[in-house]
Amino acid sequence: TARGERQARALAVFLRSRGARLAAAYASPLDRARATAALVCRELDFPEEQIQVSDALTEMSQGQWEGCPKSEVYTPEMVNLMDSTQPDFSAPAGESLRQVQFRMMEFLNQTVVRLPEKVAMGDSLSQQNEAKGLSRQSSTNSVQDGPPWDLLYRLNRHSLQRKKSGKSRLQFVTSGDNETEDDFSPKEINQRHILHEANLAPSVTSIAIFSHATPIRCLVAGVLDCNPMISQRICIEDSSITVLEHSLKTGWQIKRLNDTAHLRLL
């Protein structure tokens, strides 16, 4: 809708003003989520073709009830049955709140948590290749003039561990109706590469995820280790921002919930 497009544009401008830089973007397969993701990623100079679509982020399935009038579905008897069997009630061929929470948490822990390590590994391999190129060009005396290799080896392993402990920030956006160590031989490590790596601060990987209200509510309840029923007491509005942060020390933390400050002037 026109309103949904205005909200998505306001969201994109807000994220750009905050200096958001994405390492990855995921979206629900539904058109409204993909459209929001595309608009936001264009504004943030993130390649639209790199947006990854995942069924794990789709809206809660209502199965055979999809498209049916609520008055025909939510009879007094059905409402009583739903209340007495939550969070495991599901429409015929549909999903329950517990199932939605499970798939969202599985996506978070199986896909998202591992992404910063993959990004760091990719950067590390790239830098190793660059280092090998520099090593081939350097003189044979360059190794002898440097500090002992065992010291360089420890420095590099320490820097790799620091990178792995970096934080991962997730921007969850509703679309609305619109640890093993890497083993490197000291011979593969270049002095310049190591000294550069040793000075790096722990990295922060920002990931944008475009989903829907019910899945995000269930995910928040899951992060809090709560019964999925709690999700019904959480408000997630259209084009709102929910930020989760993960580190090895603290696990998942909710940094921002249902932020709609960017929509106030619409």
Q: Are residues 55 and 106 located together in one domain of the fold?
A: yes
Number of domains forming the structure of the chain: 2
Exposure pattern of 135-146 as b/e (b: 16+ CB <10 Å)? Answer: beeeeeeeeeee
In this structure, is residue 68 part of a structural domain? no
Q: Are residues 139 and 110 located together in one domain of the fold?
A: no
Amino acid (one-letter) located at 233: R
List the pLDDT tens digit at each of the 266 positions of the chain: 899 899 999 999 999 999 999 999 999 999 999 999 999 999 999 999 999 999 999 999 999 999 999 999 999 999 999 999 999 999 999 999 999 999 999 999 999 988 866 655 555 554 455 545 544 444 334 333 333 233 332 333 333 333 444 455 565 656 555 443 343 333 433 433 333 333 434 567 899 999 999 999 999 999 999 999 999 999 999 999 999 999 889 999 999 999 999 999 78
In this structure, is residue 192 part of a structural domain? yes
Q: Are residues 10 and 87 located together in one domain of the fold?
A: yes
In this structure, is residue 254 part of a structural domain? yes
Looking at residue 115, what is its pLDDT? Answer: 82
Q: Are residues 6 and 97 located together in one domain of the fold?
A: yes
Looking at residue 203, what is its pLDDT? Answer: 66
Q: Are residues 219 and 132 located together in one domain of the fold?
A: no
In this structure, is residue 102 part of a structural domain? yes
261 and 240 Cβ atoms separated by less than 8 Å: no
Looking at residue 128, what is its pLDDT? Answer: 52
Where residue 230 sits, what CATH number does that domain have?
Answer: 3.40.50.1240
Q: Are residues 255 and 184 located together in one domain of the fold?
A: no
Q: Are residues 232 and 128 located together in one domain of the fold?
A: no
In this structure, is residue 84 part of a structural domain? yes
Looking at residue 116, what is its pLDDT? Answer: 66
In this structure, is residue 169 part of a structural domain? no
Q: Are residues 130 and 209 located together in one domain of the fold?
A: no
In this structure, is residue 7 part of a structural domain? yes
Looking at residue 248, what is its pLDDT? Answer: 86
Q: Are residues 93 and 8 located together in one domain of the fold?
A: yes
Q: Are residues 190 and 222 located together in one domain of the fold?
A: no
In this structure, is residue 236 part of a structural domain? yes
Q: Are residues 127 and 110 located together in one domain of the fold?
A: no
Domain that holds residue 156: 123-163+180-197
Report how far apart the first and last C-alpha atoms of the chain are (Å, whole number): 14
3 vs 9, 86, 177, 208, CA distance in Å? 10, 34, 9, 21
Q: Are residues 133 and 228 located together in one domain of the fold?
A: no
Looking at residue 204, what is its pLDDT? Answer: 76
This prediction has a pTM of 0.72
Q: Any idea what the Cα angle at residue 72 is, between residues 66 and 216, rounded to 5°?
A: 40
83 and 237 Cβ atoms separated by less than 8 Å: no
